[in-house]
């Protein structure tokens, strides 16, 4: 199968190899696309695909912006959530604010409490106490659809109890984002916390454009209008029957075809530190959406494609040997940025030139591009398949388009694999056993 190139910009997406287009399962994809368009046209919030409505619905954006304005500008935001309750906001923040935004702007930090790890929680408590003792404003945004997620509940209570009794000039605000009528909403109302709602049928991994992602991003100054505008524009492209210009359909068909050929590992090879968080977000999206024991008819199939994330150029020095010399069981998605937000240049230095010829006087983007294209040339020489995805920049509009495209891609991929893109029944197995072990102690 030929290597393919896909560019996410306003002019449309076109594959370098038109021969591939003949291989796309047109009829099957068009049936699914018609169903997804119907959800949007009918504004069907009862559908499990109703996350498609979020990009064009102003309810979550309006409520998130209004509450963010009321809360004010905090010095520290702690998102207490796990999986879909945190990965989307982190992906957008890292892309739009930069991967080191917390260090560059210590007076406005965004941190995540997403696992029950003692040292990590102790460090978060120390950081939050430092903000409060310095007259800062700390916002805890606890996010859980049901409120019954063990990790989230435990982390939230540790932070709340450890901070609410402090006598300082700082300010502590708690906001709960949850389903209407959930146990967490009831708790929040009893304690007087502000609340934001999640649409009932929007699952966690599809919730980034709901208040789950929008509220903490609004507190950090991310342009929500641009984010949703990019998503809405991409939604129109990805629901189109013109598959030659539909990037989600093309990607779904590619991933599916390679999985059928035995390449059941799909690696996001990301040549931008700002987008590594988006790779981790996609990992959950794919893992939970297509990793299923049963197909739509109830037959046991144990379907799935394993998503992995590689960071260029770091993982060229840790994984390239395996990728280039190991088994041909992977399909790669190279992701890069055409116009990075900053582009320093190496100094013109004779000693540097002697160490590494042609390295002096080069922009970072030129070095990264040379490494990226060199890597792709090496992959092509080994006949290792990949798609080349290039974003114009890491603006809110571009990252909104990327996330929306990949969510629709996953719905289409699940359709091709004949599995349910929206449920996650196997996740309950570890939760059930965890509750049993805790009850026995």
| Residues with active-site annotation | 288, 317, 431
Q: How far does Cα 277 stand from its chain's mean position?
A: 6
Angstrom distance (rounded) from CA 140 to CA 86? 13
Which string of DSSP letters, residue by residue, matches 352-407? HHHHSTT-TT-BHHHHHHHHHHHHHHHHHHTT--EEEEEES-SSHHHHHHHHHHHH
Q: Which two tokens stand for residue 413?
A: 């991929």
DSSP state of 275: G
> Residue 269's beta-bridge partner residues?
310, 334
Identify the CA nearest to 143 among candidates 219, 95, 87: 87
Do 147 and 81 meet the contact criterion of CB atoms below 8 Å apart? Answer: no
What strands lie across the sheet with 76-80, from one edge to the other?
109-113, 76-80, 137-143, 171-179, 194-198
Q: Which two tokens stand for residue 199?
A: 């649409």
- Quick one: CA torsion of 207, 209, 212, 218, rounded to 10 degrees? 170
Identify the CA nearest to 20 among candidates 46, 6, 1: 1
Exposed e or buried b per residue across 326-354, where buried means at least 16 C-beta atoms within 10 angstroms of its C-beta? eeeebbbbbbbbeebeeeeebeeeeeeee
Q: What's the longest Cα–Cα distance across the chain?
A: 69
Angstrom distance (rounded) from CA 196 to CA 338? 36
């Amino acid at each position: 199968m030929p290597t393919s190139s896909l560019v996410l910009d306003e002019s449309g997406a076109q594959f370098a190899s038109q021969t591939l287009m003949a291989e796309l399962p047109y009829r099957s994809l068009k049936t699914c696309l018609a169903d997804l368009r119907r959800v949007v046209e009918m504004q069907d919030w009862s559908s499990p695909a109703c996350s498609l409505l979020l990009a064009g619905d102003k309810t979550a954006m309006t409520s998130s912006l209004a509450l963010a304005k009321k809360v004010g500008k905090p010095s520290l935001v702690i998102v207490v959530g796990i999986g879909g309750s945190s990965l989307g906001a982190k992906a957008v923040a890292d892309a739009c604010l930069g991967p080191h935004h917390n260090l560059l702007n210590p007076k406005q930090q965004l941190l995540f409490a997403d696992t029950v790890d003692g040292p990590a929680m102790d460090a978060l408590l120390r950081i939050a106490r430092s903000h409060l003792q310095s007259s800062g404003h700390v916002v805890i945004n606890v996010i859980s659809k049901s409120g019954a997620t063990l990790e989230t509940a435990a982390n939230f209570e540790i932070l709340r109890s450890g901070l609410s009794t402090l006598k300082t000039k700082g300010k502590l605000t708690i906001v709960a984002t949850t389903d209407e009528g959930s146990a967490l909403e009831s708790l929040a109302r009893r304690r007087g916390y502000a609340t934001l709602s999640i649409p009932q049928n929007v699952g966690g991994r599809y919730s980034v454009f709901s208040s789950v992602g929008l509220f903490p991003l609004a507190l950090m100054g991310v342009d929500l209008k641009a984010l949703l505008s990019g998503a809405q524009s991409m939604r129109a492209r990805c629901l189109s029957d013109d598959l030659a210009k539909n990037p989600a359909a093309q990607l779904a068909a590619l991933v599916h075809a390679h999985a059928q050929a035995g390449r059941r590992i799909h690696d996001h090879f990301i040549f931008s530190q700002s987008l590594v968080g988006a790779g981790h977000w996609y990992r959950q999206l794919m893992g939970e959406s297509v990793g299923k024991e049963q197909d739509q008819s109830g037959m046991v199939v144990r379907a799935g494609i394993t998503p992995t994330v590689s960071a260029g150029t770091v993982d060229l020095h840790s994984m390239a040997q395996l990728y280039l010399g190991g088994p041909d069981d992977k399909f790669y998605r190279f992701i890069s940025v055409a116009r990075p937000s900053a582009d320093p240049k190496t100094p013109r230095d004779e000693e540097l030139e002697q160490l590494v010829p042609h390295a002096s006087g080069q922009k970072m983007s030129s070095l990264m591009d040379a490494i990226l294209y060199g890597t792709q040339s090496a992959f092509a020489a080994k006949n290792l398949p990949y798609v080349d995805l290039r974003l114009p920049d890491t603006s809110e509009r571009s990252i909104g388009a990327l996330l929306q495209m990949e969510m629709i891609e996953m719905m289409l991929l699940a359709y091709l694999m004949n599995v349910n893109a929206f449920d996650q029944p196997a996740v309950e197995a570890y939760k059930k056993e965890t509750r049993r072990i805790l009850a026995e102690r």
